[in-house]
Amino acid sequence: MLTKEMYQRYSRQLLVEQFDETAQQRLHNASVLIIGAGGLGCAAAQYLAGSGVGHLLIMDHDNVDLSNLQRQPLYREADVGKNKAESAARQLLTLNSEIRISPLVYQATPALLEALMPVVDIILDCTDNLPTRLMINEAAYYFDKPLFIGAASGNLAQFIALSPRQRHGCYACLYSPDQHTGNNCLTQGILGPVVAIAGNYQALAALYYLSNINTPEWGQLHVFDGMKMQWSQYAIPKRANCSICGDR
Amino acid sequence: MTITVNGKLLDFAEHINVVSLLKYLKIKPTGVAVAINNQIIFKDDWLSASLNDNDNVDVFQVVAGG
Ligand SMILES: [Zn+2]
């Protein structure tokens, strides 16, 4: 049952044809682990909080830097030097105090992921490097949790929705560890709207999945080129010998 | 044999694989991903992935930042 205030707060999404009270209730009951509170995490978290996802767990061990404000809209000048997860949680609660937000001031490790996986429904990979992404992929597959991956650098954004229950390949079937180039926002720069596009894709796919009003297109790499204003899409086949998803 | 690479038509006299294509294009293999006919080819399979007439190849950057 939604309260009168909830009806009012979520009225505009309840007006969307496929979205109803049951969908809203599903969001309210959902827990989402957002790993990384940079450009991707900020974009995704604010829309998931606004939409009424019941519990957001936001993990980031980093502090806000002045150079983050250009593309990480959850932070204010006063947050510079403060932890990102805690600053993001504070800001998100001013947007929606009806939901739970757990800031996790840690760096992702296999042991930490192992402890968190059982209590969340889905994971948003909002991190910034290939080794961490491969670690999250392994944990998501081990614990059978859908994984929504965003990535961005320069003028490029990428998005992938992975379901351990589907027959497509996983992140380790897409990129090999030695394809790590170290290209990140420090070397290649990043435009705010480009990283937000990837984060919003993550939020939208999560919203569809959690409310059960639409099925994400699993196992597809979506690639956005800002210079061309164009998306391309590629299937990720399962590798027969993949150590993460191969035996499924 | 004609293949399309990132939207451009290229002609080859003999059969090539992904590794030789990247070499021909003078693209360093580190940090790039390859898809043939909109299907990802994992890096370990680049040598065995031979290209056929009318194949559509995309070479693009691996993106892992955020
Ligand atoms: Zn795999």
Instruction: Answer for the pair A94, A3: CB distance below 8 angstroms, yes or no.
Output: no
Residue A92 CA from chain centroid, whole number: 15
What 3-state DSSP class applies to B65? coil
Q: What is the pLDDT of residue A223?
A: 98
Taking the C-alpha atoms of residue B3 and residue B47, their distance in angstroms, rounded to an integer, is 17
Give buried/exposed letters for A62-90 (b at 16+ CB in 10 A, else e). eebeeebeebbebbeeebeeebbbbbbbb
Residues in chain A with CB shorter than 8 Å from the CB of B38 are: 232-235
Which of A42, A126, A170, A185 is an active site residue? A185
A127, A223, A235: residue with CB nearest B39: A235
Q: How far is B57 from chain A (nearest CA, A)?
A: 11
Could you tell me the residue ranges of all domains in chain B? Answer: 2-61
Could you tell me the residue ranges of all domains in chain A? Answer: 4-168+191-235
Selected residue of A158, A195, A231 to mutate for chain B interface (largest B Cβ count, 10 A): A158
For the stretch A181-185, contacts whose Cβ atoms lie closer than 8 Å and that sit 24 or more positions apart, written own/partner, are A181/B30, A181/B31, A181/B62, A181/B64, A183/A153, A183/A154, A183/B31, A183/B61, A183/B62, A183/B63, A183/B64, A183/B65, A184/A128, A184/A129, A184/A153, A184/B64, A184/B65, A185/A38, A185/A39, A185/A128, A185/A153, A185/B65
The correct answer on CATH 3.10.20.30 for the domain covering B2-61 is yes
B33 and A173: CB-CB below 8 Å?
Answer: no
Q: What pTM, to 2 d.p., does this model score? A: 0.97
Q: What is the pLDDT of residue A7?
A: 96
Taking the C-alpha atoms of residue B41 and residue B64, their distance in angstroms, rounded to an integer, is 18
Taking the C-alpha atoms of residue A207 and residue A64, their distance in angstroms, rounded to an integer, is 27
Taking the C-alpha atoms of residue A6 and residue A9, their distance in angstroms, rounded to an integer, is 5
Taking the C-alpha atoms of residue B12 and residue A195, their distance in angstroms, rounded to an integer, is 38
Q: What is the pLDDT of residue A180?
A: 77
Please state which of the four CATH numbers 3.40.50.10490, 3.60.150.10, 2.40.50.360, 3.40.50.720 is assigned to the domain occupying A4-168+191-235: 3.40.50.720
- Tell me, what's the ipTM? 0.96
A185 is catalytic: yes
Assign B28 a pLDDT band (cuts: 50, 70, 90): very high
The torsion angles phi and psi of A200, rounded to 5 degrees, stand at -70, -35
Q: What is the pLDDT of residue A246?
A: 86
What is chain A's pLDDT, residue by residue, as a tens digit (248 residues)? 899 999 999 999 999 999 999 999 999 999 999 999 999 999 999 999 999 999 999 999 999 999 999 999 999 999 999 999 999 999 999 999 999 999 999 999 999 999 999 999 999 999 999 999 999 999 999 999 999 999 999 999 999 999 999 999 999 999 999 887 765 566 789 999 999 999 999 999 999 999 999 999 999 999 999 999 999 999 999 999 999 998 75
